[in-house]
Amino acid sequence: MPSSAARRRAASCRARRVAAFLRSRRPVVSSIAPRVVAGERLLNEQTCLLGKIGECLLEATNSCVGADVESGSRELGLRLYDLVRSVRLLKQRRADARPAIPPGMLGMLVQIEQLSSDCHARDLVDRTRLDASTVSRSVAALVAHGLVERQPDPTDKRATFLAVTPAGRAALADSHRWYGEVLQRALADWTPGEVAALSSALGRFAGDIEVALANNDNDNLEAAR
């Protein structure tokens, strides 16, 4: 049987090997951790935002009922709340099924692709109507995942263009296919006319909401003067 001194030497040797292994893995862990944290942060932001939208919709419809507005307003608000919840579930399922694009980043990646080769971070702020810090974190995470790359702006050495990488385009195509398959199953019993009517109504509703909010902002500005 080994002596106590021999056992201590063996234990010390094992401890040194474990420590050496952990040191060798530290660069890998440090490179992955920021990506995981960024993805979780963006998912939390998206979830909180959607939750607030749902709460606002319920508050708005409740106030409408109190003001003797048509009962259809409350029904619409409840259906919109259901829609927000379904969209949140859809996004979570997409992230599980197609994890190449982290949660909460698909929309930003689509915007960069649509802006093509002339995309600056400030353009994303204007298009998404998010604050600059949120856009900056999203872009940094997409770059870290290899889905977006920064390219020098030939007209401004201080600026860079954002471009979707081949890996990013492949991930986008895969996500679009997944969404298409889900929508095809969901709308299997719908007629083409019903699908077209829904698309038209949603487009009109989104546009009218933006106009209403813009008018409200203008009214508040005039009142402040």
CATH class of 100-184: mainly alpha
Say yes or no to pLDDT of 216 above 80. no
CA atoms within 13 A on the CB side of 124: 25
Task: Give the pLDDT confidence score for residue 41 in this predicted structure.
Answer: 41
Contact 121, 58 (CB under 8 A): no
pLDDT tens-digit profile of 159-200?
A: 889 999 999 999 999 999 999 999 999 999 999 999 999 999
pLDDT tens-digit profile of 41-58?
A: 444 444 444 444 445 545
Q: What type of residue sits at position 94?
A: R
Global pTM? 0.61
Tell me which of 50-54, 109-113, 144-148 is least confident.
50-54
Domain ranges of the chain: 39-97, 100-184
pLDDT tens-digit profile of 56-105?
A: 545 554 554 455 456 677 888 888 889 999 999 999 999 999 999 988 89
Describe the chain by its helix, strand, coil percentages, rounded to 5: 80, 5, 15
